[in-house]
Structure 1
């Protein structure tokens, strides 16, 4: 629940407050956001599976962001698009976590319907 609340707060801040990002950081922000979303979806998945651990979530959240930004920075210095590795990995994990979350919610819904039918 904590990751979802954080995501909603971030969306609210992004929509209603004017936040200007300097051009120097422009290449890093999208990759960092993708890494952060990967962590949020992983946290939501862990919450649904009743395995959520705040320390793991927070360390993964900031670790993913730092790793993604670091790869982007290194790629800029080497003039090689290394950030694509982060985009591919975090993007695929994001879609994978979304698919698992969707399946878990559908299964939970089916179980509730079955349980109600058994009570009748």
Structure 2
């Protein structure tokens, strides 16, 4: 579980401490990469809360998602079609699904612990 949080902290620090400008022609790729990273992060949190977290699945899923989404965006640029929107949609749906599951798990744990406290 420490790997997703470490990656998030390093990424935020690098973003805040450096003055790197991304050219406009790469903005589609960057948006897909950020969504893939967030999807993987929340998927890792969800898996940890469900006690099924596997670091190999986490890391391989991250790189596979980014590679597939970037390939789709690259193909779309050469075909003149905004195919990156398909990846944005897919990652967006998965992101909200993972957040919803995380919310349900946390609410269940909170209500269970609250019931235990009330019984005491």
- Structure 2 runs not aligned, ≥5 long: none
Q: How far does residue 28 in structure 1 lie from its aligned partner after superposition?
A: 0.6
Task: Output the TM-score relative to the length of structure 2.
Answer: 0.90
What is the aligned residue count?
119
Where structure 1 has 5 or more consecutive residues not aligned to the other structure, the ranges are none
Query: Quick check: 1:4–1:44 contact (8 Å CA) kept in 2?
Result: no
Structure 1 length normalisation: TM-score? 0.90
Root-mean-square deviation over aligned CA pairs: 1.4
Q: How does 1:2-17 map to 2 (within 5 A)?
A: 2=2, 3-17=4-18
Over residues 27-84 of structure 1, what are the superposed CA-to-partner deviations in whole Å (9 max), with x where a residue is unaligned? Answer: 2111111111111110000011111000000000111111111111000011011111
CA contact (8 A) 2:76 2:84 kept: yes
Q: Verify the 8 A CA contact 1:75 1:82 in the aligned structure 2.
A: yes
- Deviation above 3 Å: which 4+ runs of structure 1? none
SS of the residue aligned with 2:68?
helix
Which residue does the alignment assign to 1:86? 87
